[in-house]
Structure 1
Amino acid sequence: MKKIIITLIGVTFLSGCTVNLPFNNRLGFDSVKEAQSMVKQENKPNINIKWDPNTFPKRIDIQGADGFVGGGTRTRVPTGVALSARIEEAISTFAVISNNGKPLTITVVEAKSGFEYSAGMFNITPAIDVGTVYLKAQFEFNGVQWSGEFRSQKKDPTIGGTSQTGILESAWDDVAVQVAKNVANKILH
């Protein structure tokens, strides 16, 4: 009987459960200011961003946490949604984005988001205290092709986390600004 109870308790703690977190898909204010400050230009180029695959802006990954806490959970992480929206917003600080602009094709080779929850059995709501983002992409604009790899890892030093999703969102912001700087350097010079 004792073995059965221990087995049931173990299975309960190790089985995955679904966690729905309130992710924001917009650049944070500081990231917008950083993107705006990178290019001072009066005549903004008119571009049309095309994603390859075209489903990337709607991509939602279902994954567990990278760390021990929450490793068995199934969390809906909007990697494609968050990155594409942020990248487009960051690029819009130095370019006009419209359907009749010159095409900028962004081919996503690999995109990953990782996170770790705050440790502690008494956390009522899960809070992400480590966020990791990796994006490898190829770009084409006006006959010019290039590629880039973009990484960010953000850590929340407070115990218990300050925001459920803010650390991962900050890592997405960082990658989006890196991509925008890369694109600006290629299409504006």
Structure 2
Amino acid sequence: MKKLLSLSTLILVATLFTGCAVNLPYNNRLNYTSISELSALPKVQDTVYIKWNPETFPQRIDIQGSDGFVGGGTRTRIPTGVALSSRIEEAIAQIAKLSSNGSPLTITVEKARSGFEYTAGILNRAPAIDVADVTLVATFEYKGQKWTNTFNSKLKDPKMGGSSQTGLLDKAWDDIAVQVTKDVSKHLGNN
């Protein structure tokens, strides 16, 4: 009986530490507020082609645990590259025309990380992200100009239990896309 109890305990502990896969519903489009904010920026005459380096960044999905105690052992699928690249392209399209025939704007991703924490609580039916901490370090090249910048967005949901499963992380990605576009706008306007 003692061996059976020990074995059961060992299996339970191993299961807790290996984590489980968590798939959350993400949005890969900019929200209306971000688009409205970008529409106030001056438009540039240049036609731009966005080239990602590495080329696979727009398909990148990270499998990671939460930064906090709750969900630290999970294997959560976080579409960092998918979310950031689609939002950045949509954001830049608000200030410049995008076309495969345009002048290349090369975005080299030095670092991209989507940190998050889940809401703590036993009564939560589904995991909700209540802290989002996104960082993007990128080097840009456009018509002989080259510059590197770091973009950060750290958000915390004040509502106990989280407002939505992924809304805070979506909002942080939107914020990064707006920051990138404002930075790129300064350089596109110089040509």
One fold, TM greater than 0.5? Answer: yes
Match of residue 66 from structure 1: 67
Deviations along 1:106-165, one digit per CA (max 9) or x if unpaired, are 011111111000001221100000011101110011111111100001110111111100
* Residue 24 in structure 1 maps to residue 36 in structure 2: no
Q: Runs of 4+ in structure 1 displaced over 2 angstroms?
A: 1-15
Structure 2 segments unaligned to the other structure (5+ residues):
none
Match of residue 99 from structure 1: 100
Structure 1 segments unaligned to the other structure (5+ residues):
none
Quote how far apart the aligned CAs of 1:38 are. 2.3
- For residue 72 of structure 2, what is the amino acid of its counterpart? G
Q: What is the aligned counterpart of 1:38 among 23, 36, 41?
A: 41
Identical positions, percent:
55
Match of residue 156 from structure 1: 157
- For residue 73 of structure 1, what is the amino acid of its counterpart? T
- Secondary structure of the 1:85 match is helix
Distance 1:117 1:22 in 2: 14
Quote how far apart the aligned CAs of 1:45 are. 1.8
Quote how far apart the aligned CAs of 1:9 are. 3.6
Give aligned pairs, total: 187
Give the TM-score of the pair, scaled to structure 1.
0.94
Distance 1:153 1:35 in 2: 20
- For residue 84 of structure 2, what is the amino acid of its counterpart? L
- For residue 17 of structure 1, what is the amino acid of its counterpart? C
- For residue 83 of structure 1, what is the amino acid of its counterpart? L
Matches within 5 A, 1:1-189: 1=2, 2-39=5-42, 41=43, 44-189=45-190
- Secondary structure of the 1:157 match is coil
- Secondary structure of the 1:88 match is helix
